Amino acid sequence: MDIQLKRGLLDVCVLAAIKDKDSYGYQIIKDMKPYLSLSESTLYTILKRLETAGMLTVRSAEHDGRLRKYYHITDSGLRRIEEFKEDWKEILSIHRFVVKEEENE
Amino acid sequence: MNKQDFLAQLCSGLHGLPREDVEERLNFYSEMIDDRMEDGLSEVEAVAEIGNVCEIISQILAETPLSKIVKEKIKPKSPVKPWVVVLLILGFPLWFPIMIAVVAIILSVYIVVWSVIISLWAVFASFIVGTLGGAFSSVYFAMCGRALTSLSMLAVGLLCAGSAIFIFFACLAVTKGVIWLTKKTAVGFKHMLIGKETV
């Protein structure tokens, strides 16, 4: 898959994983597992990118005697998900057009 | 491999990165391993699931901009001593021209490599011009009623067109090759900067 496209998709996937409630690294990976496998280093890069872009915030909370980082989606992150849904409609309609053209050939 | 070994290897592999970055990454992986163990995995299994340390280090290095590594590299580890400053100032007439020379050499290597590409594309462009010239003069001589000259001009045009198509693929391949080589060199350079200290 095109690398830029994939990067954009993964960003939205991670945002979706923390949309309903704050989550932490391993939970995000587990939640995404049925849909796609994500390595730790890739997740780290995505989280860092989203944090820099202001789409999520990070807080450390104590869990079982150690610190765990929780990720919280911001308004800008929520907007990104909505934008993605809109973009996807466009992509689907382009896909329909491409498939139809191939059938006509 | 247990958690401590994993983190120690990761730490030494990322030696050349800024300290805060390395610490953040170590905390991240440590949390990931702990969470897996909490989920019922043994320590060794949890570490194995995270993946190969060397691959992780390579991926991190590939993603880190070269400027960040160089900046960290030239940052003094301990406060600069006065005599070092004196030496730097006294040695300025010596090290400054050398530095300029090194930069100039690197720059000229770059220019040489790219001029090969530019000249290849220039050959391609000249064949295109030849094609157009052949076509135009063929039409022109045909209108003048000189059939033989017109025909030979058409032949020249076609010859140029054929060469243009041929050289286009050669240009494309060389350009891609050079871009690939540039990327490889950058990654190799990063490994060289960091590798030195881990050995």
Of A25, A45, A64, the CB nearest to B32: A25
CB contact under 8 A, A25 and B28: yes
A20 lies within 8 A of chain B by CB: no
Q: What is the pTM of this model?
A: 0.59
Q: Which residue of B has its CA nearest to A26?
A: B32
CB contact under 8 A, A26 and B35: yes
Would you say B38 and A64 are in contact if contact means Cβ atoms under 8 Å apart?
yes
B62–chain A nearest CA distance, Å: 12
CB contact under 8 A, A69 and B28: yes
Q: Which of B8, B127, B46 is nearest to A26 (CA)?
A: B46
pLDDT of residue B80: 74
Number of domains in chain A: 1
Best of A40, A60, A62 to disrupt the B interface (most B CBs within 10 Å) is: A40
CB contact under 8 A, B35 and A44: no
Q: Counting beta carbons within 10 angstroms of the beta carbon of residue B133, is it exposed (0 to 12), middle (13 to 18) or buried (19 or more)?
A: middle
Structural domain boundaries in chain B: 3-74, 82-198
User: In this structure, what CATH number is given to the domain that contains residue A8?
Assistant: 1.10.10.10
Q: Which of A64-68, A83-87, B156-160 has the lowest mean pLDDT?
A: A64-68
Length of chain A: 105
Domain span at residue A93 reads 3-104
Best of B22, B26, B35 to disrupt the A interface (most A CBs within 10 Å) is: B35
Best of B17, B26, B32, B56 to disrupt the A interface (most A CBs within 10 Å) is: B32
Would you say B153 and B161 are in contact if contact means Cβ atoms under 8 Å apart?
no
User: Does position A37 have pLDDT exceeding 70, yes or no?
Assistant: yes
The ipTM is 0.84
Identify the helix (H) or strand (E) that includes residue A63. strand A56-63
pLDDT in tens, chain B (199 residues): 888 999 999 888 888 788 888 899 999 999 999 999 988 888 898 888 888 888 888 888 888 877 777 777 777 666 777 888 888 888 888 889 999 999 999 899 889 988 988 999 999 999 999 999 999 999 999 888 888 889 999 999 999 999 999 999 999 999 899 888 888 887 787 777 765 544 3
Residue A67: left if φ>0, alpha if ψ -120 to 50, beta else—which one?
A: beta
Q: Counting beta carbons within 10 angstroms of the beta carbon of residue B79, is it exposed (0 to 12), middle (13 to 18) or buried (19 or more)?
A: exposed
Contacts of B71 (CB under 8 A, 6+ apart): none
Residue A89, both tokens: 């409609």
Q: In angstroms, what CA-CA distances link A100 with A86, A103, B72?
A: 22, 5, 54
A61 lies within 8 A of chain B by CB: no
CB contact under 8 A, A24 and B31: yes
